[in-house]
Amino acid sequence: MTKKQAKTREVTNSDLAKQIASLATTVDNLAVSTARGFSEMEKKFESIDQRFESIDQRFESIDQRFESIDQRFESIDQRFESVDERFNLVFDRLDNLSADIADIKHILRPMIQMASTEEKRVDKLEIRLGRVERKVGIKN
């Protein structure tokens, strides 16, 4: 091997060593970057997990509120059912009263007609009595 070749080989070996060192540094930097990336991703996942937990708690709170509202609606529905039953009783009583009034009208109709007839008769008799009283001189 000649000096030139030996020098070229040394340069090549030296360059090769530098390239290997640079490559090792690059690999080390890549490993550090990768570790940082995983660390950052882990932090992001933790942040996302915390957000999901917060959202889950909010949903549980909303679910409890809906259950409370649902219970209130059930209570109101029961009250309406009670009121509805009372209204039905009132309507039934009104129907009975209407039927009773119709029966009373049916029974009283002939009596009213008789009373009307008798009232007309009394009026005629009062007129006749007035004439008689005038003729007799009791009344002017």
* 115 part of a folded domain: no
* 13 part of a folded domain: yes
In this prediction, residue 5 has a pLDDT band, given cuts at 50, 70 and 90, of: low
CA atoms lying within 13 Å on the CB side of residue 100: 6
pLDDT at position 2, please? 62
The torsion angle over the Cα atoms of residues 98, 100, 104 and 105, rounded to 10 degrees, is 20
* 76 part of a folded domain: yes
pLDDT tens-digit readout, 31-87:
777 777 777 878 888 888 899 999 999 999 999 999 999 999 999 999 999 999 999
| Other CB atoms within 10 A of residue 50 CB | 10
* 92 part of a folded domain: yes
* 119 part of a folded domain: no
pLDDT at position 32, please? 77
In this prediction, residue 7 has a pLDDT band, given cuts at 50, 70 and 90, of: low
Q: How many domains does the structure of the chain reveal?
A: 1
* 62 part of a folded domain: yes
* 54 part of a folded domain: yes
Token output for 103: 């029966």
Cα 74–chain centre separation: 11
Residue 48: give the domain boundaries: 1-105
* 99 part of a folded domain: yes
Q: Cα–Cα distances in Å, from 25 out to 4, 19, 31, 34, 94?
A: 30, 9, 10, 14, 100
Please, what's the b/e burial string for 110-135 (b: 16 or more CB within 10 A of its CB; e: otherwise)? eeeeeeeeeeeeeeeeeeeeeeeeee
Q: Write the DSSP assignment of 54-100 as a string of letters.
A: HHHHHHHHHHHHHHHHHHHHHHHHHHHHHHHHHHHHHHHHHHHHHHH
Cα-Cα end-to-end distance for the chain:
179
